Structure 1
């Protein structure tokens, strides 16, 4: 079945216009416009839609609520509906499905484990029977950015966004990905709230800014801001953690925990604090003002032993 499924990425309007003119001229090609809509408000359910055409003639259209699911699941749901409708059409040898989610199009023919596996299994079952009836049959997925509001996909987009269904008292469907997303956001909200408390964050925690001026906050995507910046090097990440948390082998730490080691800096300053190292010590370190993670990264690059342990050549104890 894999050899009969094509994925075509076409973003240019003229190319899409030419493509659909040729498809409409073929009496054995069924066009399917699919779309899913995830409202910004949690008060409304996710919706999916499919419109089936042959030539310029609309054969069928349907839209329905999909509960609380993610956008890829909604798109996959719409593709599943479109395929089931298309294979029922008379003299259908080629299905051309227009979608704004190629990720969902790929998952449509992937029966492996994922959030929308039930839809994928349904699509694969329907297509397998349809392919077996004629070796010349095939399906093509075409990418159309929803912002283009192009031709039949624009019609499907308009059709689905007009449907607004509130979440009622009855239990709604939830996909696995939607439940994962909701749990992750709940934990993240709790984490961000707790992170505002200095007793949780640590009184010595170095507050850094985001490019927009807001304070850097914990995130789980791509490892979060700290890990995504320094995760390439274990030794550098260890020194960064020691710097940001204030638990570094420097004079201020020794003074705070009454450790019998020198509290002063080798440059002559009475107290070797983090602020002194980052901002004032010109004799021992290159100076970079630590507003952003990128500044700390530059500082660590130019000062490979800063906030590290002297007895270890890598600066990590």
Structure 2
């Protein structure tokens, strides 16, 4: 075997390095973040047995103030009055306790979420507390706050009625759901304590009331400010919930998607690049139906198909014909996507398609077909 000639420069080809690089896929991202999970689950919890579940034995009240689609100032003020009347009424009931719960999630990953509550009875504040909740998502932290508030109010020996004011009604529903989910430990603790409380001989009741954050209702706002007015809490080996791991995996995958999407070899040579309101190229997203299809939520299937045909360069029809050697037009027969007079924003494109219902429409089938 001949040795390497040290007199020559041995060049390494790097032109295709970017294209051969493969971003982490979902499986590898899960493997990366799963060791961070510290949450424990109980798939065979006694509280989750059919017929024994708290929701199978007890009906829970859920109060959601009526909402108007317009959310006018008058409508918001009316909803605030409803909440105030509810709060006043409960405070006039003997042995009734009202808890306003809230939570906040920091932007920095190294900091912990904060969950807290403020408990009122007979028109006065009787107790309040807040806790570091670990590395969790907003729903997890809200669930923690509700759990802490319920268990604390039950500890008052004369308590026979609990009303929880929360801006996260989904977390309230999870609080009495003992099945496996992120934050199951909080739910199991709530179900166990409420079961003892309801079987204590008193006529007890619990109700969850939704408080829209945008109203800024003073009772819930006080709890909100109390929780937010907390110095950043960091720590090592933070308690990490399942939802937090899922969120980290999803973010990594979306970041990889956005990175891949910048290359024409990934998105396709005929893909029509659209801009946002600041004329920045649109980025793919998994939220609210995605970047493009979210604009067609109220549109017909035909309009959605025309939009897809325009943006994708009439793919996959042309690509399909080319791949399988099928006769027919492969290139766009309507227009060139590079024209400067074509809509550059997705909203403008949708307006254009509505005004021109035949543009990018599919041709009628030949006679005798279909």
How much is the aligned-residue C-alpha RMSD, in angstroms?
3.9
Q: Distance in 1 between matches of 2:181 and 2:239?
A: 16
Check conservation: 1:38, 1:47, Cα contact below 8 A: yes
Q: Distance in 1 between matches of 2:335 and 2:210?
A: 52
Unaligned runs of 5+ in 2: 1-53, 66-75
Matched, 1:100 2:167: yes
Matched, 1:111 2:167: no
Matched, 1:14 2:74: no
TM-score (norm 1): 0.77
Within the candidate set 287, 304, 307, 2:361 is matched to 304
Partner of 2:308: 240
Q: Distance in 2 between matches of 1:68 and 1:136?
A: 38
Matched, 1:197 2:263: yes
Within the candidate set 253, 275, 288, 1:209 is matched to 275
Q: Distance in 2 between matches of 1:95 and 1:240?
A: 52
Check conservation: 2:303, 2:353, Cα contact below 8 A: no
Partner of 1:283: none
Q: Distance in 2 between matches of 1:62 and 1:152?
A: 15
Q: Distance in 2 between matches of 1:108 and 1:243?
A: 44
- SS in structure 2 opposite 1:275? coil
Indicate how the Cα distance of structure 1 residues 152 and 273 shifts in structure 2: closer, same or farther if over 3 A, else same: same
Aligned pairs for 1:126-141 within 5 A: 126-134=193-201, 136-141=203-208
Deviation at 1:246?
Answer: 6.0
Q: Which has the higher contact order (CA 8 A, sep 6+)?
A: 2
Partner of 1:120: 187
Within the candidate set 201, 220, 236, 2:286 is matched to 220
Indicate how the Cα distance of structure 1 residues 171 and 198 shifts in structure 2: closer, same or farther if over 3 A, else same: same
Partner of 1:294: 350
Check conservation: 2:307, 2:350, Cα contact below 8 A: no
Check conservation: 1:236, 1:300, Cα contact below 8 A: no
Check conservation: 2:271, 2:312, Cα contact below 8 A: yes
- SS in structure 2 opposite 1:225? coil
Per-residue displacement from partner, 1:163-187 (whole Å, max 9, x unpaired)?
122433x111111111111111111
Indicate how the Cα distance of structure 1 residues 187 and 165 shifts in structure 2: closer, same or farther if over 3 A, else same: same
Matched, 1:75 2:110: no
Partner of 2:35: none
Deviation at 1:101?
Answer: 0.9
Partner of 1:25: 92
TM-score (norm 2): 0.67
Deviation at 1:44?
Answer: 2.6
Q: Distance in 1 between matches of 2:362 and 2:180?
A: 46
Within the candidate set 335, 358, 366, 1:275 is matched to 335
Within the candidate set 104, 124, 131, 1:37 is matched to 104
Matched, 1:159 2:226: yes
Deviation at 1:203?
Answer: 2.6
Aligned pair count reads: 297
- SS in structure 1 opposite 2:291? helix
Partner of 2:242: 176
Deviation at 1:300?
Answer: 7.3
Partner of 1:268: none
Q: Distance in 2 between matches of 1:42 and 1:241?
A: 41
Per-residue displacement from partner, 1:33-85 (whole Å, max 9, x unpaired)?
21111123434321000222221333322111111111111111000000100
